[in-house]
């Protein structure tokens, strides 16, 4: 949308828009809009620009107990069974039962029937039969109060239609509303059908080693009408019960949550596509892709629903502006003059209060009446007539059936693999499924199954084109454990990890470069002398800094590493390294690269060398010369292919590359994981360990524990009053207030949030406060920005796109530059000055409208690399350890976290409040670090071949025979820890014998690895007997038993058997390995005073 100059002049008050033709600003679509072509062929389908879509189906866990109550808070009471009573009743319709799993409930509710309050309580609150209260498997576990842990009762899949659909639904006549609603419901059923066929499963056996099918799912669906701000937002909460009946034995178990998490984005894409199919079928609407600005992917919207109307119904700020304009007009009529700046502030505050949504239930009739009234003002005509004309203009093109042959599927699959591979080092079936759906989203299909068939063909071809990283099946698998498609139930369905050969090759080259030691160096004497002299500005190096600098300068490694947690003084160390390197290789022999142009500027100022952002440097093909040192800062943010190109170019020129960063901080947007791969492949890499940034020692120590995901880090923050928690709205106000106080006290402070939406809200709050203070102009001309905010003279802004043609003096405009608005011009352009003063720049209207944001708050990604006095951080429940760590390490003197205990995108009726500490513990346990292909492959193979995994598989196979017999003597234990299973079934017996041999061999490998790596426990084992072969065999059995026991029970203790715990073990063999000279009875041995009990009967490892 073009830039709009907003003035507090009633002559352009939006309420005075003429009736008749739709105003131009409402009919404009965003640059980059693409309209769908319903008749185009499948090969090459979709736009050239296909990326991650806006997720319109989200998923979150529902807790047992009272976690279901939010679903009932808005439900209308009374009999809603007749006619349009739901339309006029205050509140939302009651829930309805969905899912074929309802058939498994004897005397249970039927499909489509109303969900009763007691039924919801029994199933989701207590995990019982919703009608009879009978037990459905194990009761939900109980956790200690204040632990932050709760049992999972289900999963809330929230389906929200695209904004243009919501707006059309909200302002349309009732018959059109009903058809949109029905299309939405049909799309939900289509998605649940896919869930039941491809996603829903449960786990049985030790460690849930076997994934088996279920008899459908049980779900309760609740429709809602509006957003938290009161705008039209048609959406449905579909809560899937965690209780499922196993298809084989009929027992009730828990739903396996792994596949539903993995498939969430793919299910969202499928919902988007089938909803569009149904709406085109029923209403004949067309679809187009609309650009949403920098770093945001296009969204599918209905052709003819203007962007201006979406914006007006997408932000409470729009409603505030409309009300403010009305109040200004009233003031002018009553006083005969325009309001002063002080009066304007009061009018804006009054508009804010007047447009705040009431916390009362409204009927759909009342809501739509209000929405239609707003729409009539905005479009200048009756919304019903506008809807009729829009639908009449639609093509009425009905979906057609597409048949994809092998060639077409392969063409699309190649695009899918390329697109996924640009952003991920590894991927799964569901990543490919989501991307295939995006590629096909502009095509219309007559049925969901027709669409699924085409998507499945593309995904199958894409999987063939990808390289599997999974270990092959290790041992024989009984036919009873094979699915219909031949895959093993001992592997999760659709969980294979894939990569591209090109990425594997790039990682391999980086590993080779990092191992090579024939690169340029600095003489040891020069390096050591330089380390003593420090950075040349009076700062001496710490022991860790000096050691790291000397190591890098003298190692000869073609690709070297410097790893340092936040605040360890990497810049100081790099300045010293630059001086050392130039002392031998000459001035100009060091260059530095950073992930962005703004970061490169900061790096240039700190190091005093030529810098550039990595993308521009590679694009320009800058030549290197022999002996140069290329420093790549924030290397964890660089993609694998980027690092490979830099390393290869340096290798050709006989130059050296130094990768600087911290793999515990934010990861690359492109396919990454290489930096972490290199650090783990070289345990002795140069590291900085002394945290210097923070003025308080406890905070320095706490940040290191945050970095490791250790929840004890929270104790220090709690003791020093650095943790706040509450609803999102409360946290926005609290974080802003604290940030504002710090700035008033003269501190440089950051206001950090994890999402653009929260950053936008913080910017609005901060701007309003500055208008009250008078530091930002009130009552003067304003410019509308892309995210719906506005700016005026005095506002702080950020430029979000590099443009070398826009200059302030000798400096061009960079993405991430901060400015202050000095003037606003009638054509939509503005004049901006740097924060510290200096030459100004005129940003043209097109740049302002598309690439300028308010600059009071910042995202976590924009904050990485910055150091300030204080930081105030908002964190939401879905974020990761890396995001929390980066955000909480920006401030020297204080970092305070404001934890939202609800969902910031939730509707007014939801109540997902949780204890703030519990949210933080969950965040610390969650990592979004991109694993390299090599690390993924090694991890998968280690898991598949681990003794614990193979032991669980052995027991699961044994459980197939109801008459299986287990050994009872210690001498007949597999690897000294597992009761040997014997079956009368010849095939099963053969498989069990083969797998028992595998377990013995695996235990031997564990011993060999532990001794080779010098594990502490091996030093407590007696030396192997040298003369008695029988004694040597007994010793080996004992050591093998210890190694197997440690692996099964995850023991990392230095003591051979770890802490006291229950478990089957051949105690005699262990005694012979540890103390061959003492009697068999272990009464005096603290490790061997385990009860000499017989092994557990039946298939159990005693875990």
Q: Model confidence at 334, in pLDDT bands (50, 70, 90)?
A: confident
Domain count, the chain: 4
For residue 14, the model assigns a pLDDT of 25
> H or E stretch including 364?
helix 364-379
For residue 35, the model assigns a pLDDT of 41
Per-residue pLDDT of 7-63, as tens digits, reads 333 222 222 222 233 333 233 333 344 344 333 333 334 333 333 345 688 888 888
For residue 534, the model assigns a pLDDT of 86
Residue 174 placed within a domain: no
Residue 209 placed within a domain: no
**Model pTM score:** 0.87
Burial code (b: 16+ CB inside 10 Å, e: under 16) for 145-167 equals eeebebbbbbbbbbbbbbbbbbb
Range of the domain at 315: 5-30+306-393
For residue 78, the model assigns a pLDDT of 63
**Which of 396 and 1030 is assigned the larger pLDDT?**
1030
Residue 933 placed within a domain: no
516 and 641 together in one domain:
yes
461 and 602 together in one domain:
no
DSSP category for residue 9: -
For residue 1024, the model assigns a pLDDT of 86
Residue 372 placed within a domain: yes
**Which of 914 and 288 is assigned the larger pLDDT?**
288
Q: Are the CB atoms for 49 and 896 separated by under 8 Å?
A: no
1066 and 958 together in one domain:
yes
Average pLDDT over residues 898-909: 63
Q: Is the pLDDT of residue 4 over 50?
A: no
Average pLDDT over residues 472-484: 94
Burial code (b: 16+ CB inside 10 Å, e: under 16) for 888-912 equals bbbbbbbbbbbbbbbbbbbbbbbbb
318 and 336 together in one domain:
yes
Q: Model confidence at 914, in pLDDT bands (50, 70, 90)?
A: low
Three-state secondary structure call for residue 91: coil
Average pLDDT over residues 239-267: 96
What are the residues whose beta carbons fall under 8 Å from the beta carbon of 310, sequence distance 6 or more?
A: 163, 164, 167, 301
Per-residue pLDDT of 566-592, as tens digits, reads 999 999 999 999 999 999 999 999 999
Q: Which of 662, 681, 700 is the last residue of a domain?
A: 681
Min mean pLDDT across 66-70, 278-282, 920-924 is at: 66-70
For residue 316, the model assigns a pLDDT of 56
For residue 7, the model assigns a pLDDT of 32
Q: Model confidence at 720, in pLDDT bands (50, 70, 90)?
A: very high
**Which of 311 and 783 is assigned the larger pLDDT?**
783
Per-residue pLDDT of 784-811, as tens digits, reads 998 889 999 999 999 999 999 999 998 9
For residue 70, the model assigns a pLDDT of 87
Phi, psi of 344 (to 5 degrees): -60, -40
Token pair 């590629």 in the structure block, residue: 439
Q: Is the pLDDT of residue 85 over 80?
A: no
Q: Is 608 left (phi over 0), alpha (psi -120 to 50) or beta?
A: left
Average pLDDT over residues 663-681: 91
Q: Model confidence at 904, in pLDDT bands (50, 70, 90)?
A: very low
Per-residue pLDDT of 620-656, as tens digits, reads 888 999 999 999 999 999 999 999 999 999 999 999 9
Q: Is the pLDDT of residue 1096 over 90?
A: no
Q: What is the spatial distance between Cα 399 and Cα 281, in angstroms, rounded to a whole number?
A: 7
Residue 79 placed within a domain: no
Q: Are the CB atoms for 105 and 111 separated by under 8 Å?
A: no
Partners of 871 in the beta sheet?
750, 895
Angle ∠(436,101,275) on CA atoms, nearest 5: 35
For residue 780, the model assigns a pLDDT of 80
Q: Name the nearest CA neighbour of 793 among 762, 767, 765.
A: 767
419 and 364 together in one domain:
no
627 and 648 together in one domain:
yes
452 and 537 together in one domain:
no
For residue 621, the model assigns a pLDDT of 85
Residue 913 placed within a domain: no
Q: What is the spatial distance between Cα 269 and Cα 56, in angstroms, rounded to a whole number?
A: 8
522 and 638 together in one domain:
yes
Q: Name the nearest CA neighbour of 619 among 590, 640, 649, 577.
A: 649
Count of beta carbons in the 10 Å neighbourhood of residue 757: 13
Three-state secondary structure call for residue 587: coil
Residue 581 placed within a domain: yes
Q: Model confidence at 915, in pLDDT bands (50, 70, 90)?
A: confident
Average pLDDT over residues 330-345: 69
Q: Model confidence at 532, in pLDDT bands (50, 70, 90)?
A: very high
Residue 570 placed within a domain: yes
Q: Which of 449, 484, 500 is the last residue of a domain?
A: 500
Angle ∠(28,31,35) on CA atoms, nearest 5: 80
Q: Which of 460, 475, 500 is the last residue of a domain?
A: 500
Per-residue pLDDT of 499-526, as tens digits, reads 999 999 999 999 999 999 999 999 999 9
Average pLDDT score over the chain = 86
Q: Model confidence at 313, in pLDDT bands (50, 70, 90)?
A: confident
Do the bridges between strand 830-833 and strand 818-824 make them parallel or antiparallel, or are there none, so unpaired? antiparallel
Min mean pLDDT across 406-410, 877-881, 911-915, 1037-1041 is at: 911-915
Per-residue pLDDT of 104-126, as tens digits, reads 999 999 999 999 999 999 999 99
Q: Is the pLDDT of residue 942 over 50?
A: yes
Q: Is the pLDDT of residue 894 over 60?
A: yes
- The pairs formed by 73-77 with CB atoms below 8 angstroms and a separation of 24 or more are 73/909, 73/911, 74/224, 74/361, 74/909, 75/222, 76/361, 76/363
Min mean pLDDT across 118-127, 271-280, 440-449, 533-542 is at: 533-542
Q: Is the pLDDT of residue 323 over 80?
A: no
By residue count, the chain amounts to 1103
For residue 201, the model assigns a pLDDT of 98
Tokens encoding 887:
């955000």
954 and 1039 together in one domain:
yes
Average pLDDT over residues 402-416: 84
Q: Model confidence at 1101, in pLDDT bands (50, 70, 90)?
A: very low
Q: What is the spatial distance between Cα 955 and Cα 977, in angstroms, rounded to a whole number?
A: 12
For residue 341, the model assigns a pLDDT of 59
Q: Strand runs (DSSP E) across 743-816, as ranges?
A: 749-753, 782-784, 790-791, 796-799, 803-808, 811-813
Average pLDDT over residues 152-164: 95
For residue 55, the model assigns a pLDDT of 62
- The DSSP secondary structure of 979-1027, one letter per residue, reads EPEE-SSHHHHHHHHHHHHHHHHHHHHHHHHHHHTT-GGGGGSPPPPSS
Q: What percent of the chain has pLDDT over 90?
A: 66
531 and 671 together in one domain:
yes
538 and 660 together in one domain:
yes
Q: What percent of the chain has pLDDT over 70?
A: 85
Q: How many CA atoms are closer than 13 Å to the CA of 1083, on its beta-carbon side? A: 2
382 and 424 together in one domain:
no
**Which of 1010 and 536 is assigned the larger pLDDT?**
1010
What is the domain-level CATH number for residue 578? 3.40.50.300
Q: Is the pLDDT of residue 197 over 90?
A: yes
Q: Is the pLDDT of residue 1033 over 80?
A: yes
- Helix and strand element counts for the chain (H, E): 36, 38
For residue 558, the model assigns a pLDDT of 98
For residue 907, the model assigns a pLDDT of 43
Q: Is the pLDDT of residue 970 over 70?
A: no
For residue 335, the model assigns a pLDDT of 72
């Amino acid at each position: 949308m073009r830039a709009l100059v907003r003035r507090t002049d009633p002559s352009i008050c939006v309420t005075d828009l003429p009736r008749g033709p739709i105003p131009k600003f409402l009919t404009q679509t965003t640059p980059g809009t693409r309209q769908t072509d319903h008749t185009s062929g499948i090969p090459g389908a979709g736009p050239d620009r296909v990326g991650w879509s806006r997720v319109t189906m989200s998923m979150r866990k529902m807790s047992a107990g009272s976690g279901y109550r939010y679903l009932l808070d808005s439900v209308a009471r009374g009999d809603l069974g007749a006619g349009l009573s739901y339309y006029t009743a205050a509140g939302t319709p009651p829930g309805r039962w969905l899912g074929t799993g309802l058939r498994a409930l004897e005397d249970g509710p039927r499909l489509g029937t109303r969900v009763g309050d007691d039924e919801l309580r029994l199933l989701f609150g207590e995990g019982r039969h919703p009608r009879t209260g009978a037990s459905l498997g194990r009761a939900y576990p109980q956790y200690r109060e204040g632990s932050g842990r709760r049992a999972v009762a289900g999963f809330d899949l929230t389906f929200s239609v695209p904004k243009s659909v919501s707006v059309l639904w909200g302002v349309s006549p009732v018959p059109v509303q009903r058809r949109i609603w029905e299309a939405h419901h049909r799309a939900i059923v289509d998605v649940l059908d896919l869930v039941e066929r491809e996603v829903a499963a449960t786990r049985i056996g030790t460690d849930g080693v076997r994934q088996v099918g279920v008899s459908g799912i049980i779900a309760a669906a609740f429709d809602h009408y509006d957003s938290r701000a009161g705008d039209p937002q048609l959406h449905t909460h579909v809560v899937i019960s965690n209780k499922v009946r196993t298809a084989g034995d009929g027992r009730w178990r828990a739903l396996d949550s792994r596949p539903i998490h993995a498939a969430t984005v793919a299910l969202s894409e499928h919902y988007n596509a089938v909803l569009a199919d149904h709406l085109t079928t029923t209403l004949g609407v067309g679809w187009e892709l609309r650009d949403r600005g920098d770093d945001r992917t296009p969204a599918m919207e209905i052709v003819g629903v203007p962007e201006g109307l979406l914006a007006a119904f997408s932000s409470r700020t729009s409603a505030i502006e409309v009300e403010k304009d009305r109040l200004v007009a009233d003031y002018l009529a009553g006083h005969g003059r325009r309001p002063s700046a002080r009066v304007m502030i009061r009018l804006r505050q009054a508009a804010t209060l007047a447009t705040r949504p009431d916390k009362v239930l409204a009927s759909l009739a009342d809501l739509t009446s209000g929405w239609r009234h707003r729409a009539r003002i905005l479009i200048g005509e009756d919304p019903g007539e506008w809807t009729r004309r829009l639908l009449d203009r639609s093509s009425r093109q009905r979906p057609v059936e597409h048949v994809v042959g092998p060639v077409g599927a392969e063409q699309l699959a190649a695009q899918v693999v390329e697109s996924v591979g640009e952003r991920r080092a590894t991927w799964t079936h569901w990543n490919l499924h989501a991307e295939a759906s995006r590629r096909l989203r502009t095509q219309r299909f007559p049925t969901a199954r027709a669409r699924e068939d085409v998507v499945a063909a593309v995904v199958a071809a894409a999987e063939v084109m990808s390289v599997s990283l999974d270990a092959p099946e290790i041992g024989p698998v009984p036919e009873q454990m094979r699915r219909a498609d031949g895959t093993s139930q001992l592997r999760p369905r659709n969980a294979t990890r894939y990569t591209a050969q090109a990425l594997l090759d790039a990682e391999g080259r980086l590993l080779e470069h990092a191992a090579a030691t024939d690169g340029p160096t600095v003489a040891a004497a020069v390096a050591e002398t330089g380390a003593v002299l420090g950075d040349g500005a009076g700062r001496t190096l710490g022991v860790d800094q000096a050691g790291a600098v000397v190591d890098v300068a003298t190692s000869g490694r073609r690709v070297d590493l410097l790893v340092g947690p936040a605040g360890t003084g990497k810049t100081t160390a790099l300045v010293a390294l630059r001086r050392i390197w130039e002392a031998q290789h000459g001035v100009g022999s060091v260059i530095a690269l950073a992930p962005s142009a703004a970061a490169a500027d900061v790096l240039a100022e700190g190091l005093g060398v030529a810098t550039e952002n990595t993308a521009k440097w590679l694009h320009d093909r800058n030549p290197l010369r022999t002996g140069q040192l290329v420093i790549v800062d924030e290397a964890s943010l660089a993609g694998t292919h980027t690092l490979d190109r830099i390393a290869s170019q340096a290798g050709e020129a006989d130059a050296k590359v130094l990768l600087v960063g911290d793999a515990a901080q934010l990861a690359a947007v492109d396919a990454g994981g290489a930096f972490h791969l290199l650090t783990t492949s070289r345990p002795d890499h140069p590291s900085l360990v002394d945290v210097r940034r923070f003025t308080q020692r406890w905070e320095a120590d706490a940040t290191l524990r945050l970095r490791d995901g250790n929840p004890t880090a929270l104790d220090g923050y709690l003791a020093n009053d650095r943790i706040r928690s509450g609803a999102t709205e409360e946290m926005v106000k609290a974080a802003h207030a604290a940030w504002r106080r710090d700035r008033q006290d003269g501190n440089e402070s950051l206001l950090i949030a994890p999402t653009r939406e929260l950053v936008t809200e913080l910017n609005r709050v901060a701007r309003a406060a500055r208008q009250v203070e008078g530091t930002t102009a009130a009552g003067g001309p304003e410019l509308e920005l892309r995210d719906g905010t506005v700016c005026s003279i005095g506002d702080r802004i950020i430029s979000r796109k590099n443009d070398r043609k826009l200059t302030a003096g000798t400096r061009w405009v960079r993405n991430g530059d901060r400015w202050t608005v000095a003037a606003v011009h009638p054509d939509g352009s503005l004049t901006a000055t740097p924060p510290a003063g200096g030459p100004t720049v005129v940003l043209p209207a097109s740049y302002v409208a598309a690439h300028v944001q308010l600059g009071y708050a910042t995202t976590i990604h924009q904050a990485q690399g910055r150091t300030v006095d204080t930081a105030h951080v908002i964190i939401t429940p879905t974020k990761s350890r890396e995001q929390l760590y980066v955000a909480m390490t920006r401030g020297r003197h204080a970092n305070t976290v404001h934890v939202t205990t609800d969902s910031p995108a939730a509707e007014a009726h939801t109540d997902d409040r949780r204890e703030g500490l519990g949210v933080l513990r969950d965040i610390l346990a969650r990592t979004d670090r991109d694993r390299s292909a090599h690390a993924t492959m090694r991890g998968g193979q280690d898991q598949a071949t681990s003794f614990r995994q193979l032991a669980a598989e052995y027991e699961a196979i044994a459980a197939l025979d109801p008459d299986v017999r287990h050994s009872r003597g210690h001498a007949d234990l597999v690897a000294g820890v597992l009761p040997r299973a014997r079956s009368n079934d010849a095939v099963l017996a053969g498989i069990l014998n083969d797998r028992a041999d595998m377990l013995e061999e695996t235990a031997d490998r564990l011993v060999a690895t532990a001794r080779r790596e010098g594990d502490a426990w091996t030093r407590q084992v007696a030396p192997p007997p040298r003369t008695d072969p029988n004694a040597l065999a007994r010793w080996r059995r004992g050591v093998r038993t210890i190694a197997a026991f440690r692996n099964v029970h995850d023991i990392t203790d230095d003591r051979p058997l770890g802490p006291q715990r229950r478990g089957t073990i051949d105690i005699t063999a262990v005694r012979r390995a540890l103390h061959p000279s003492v009697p068999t009875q272990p009464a005096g041995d603290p490790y061997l005073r385990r009860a000499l009990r017989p092994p557990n009967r039946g298939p159990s490892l005693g875990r």
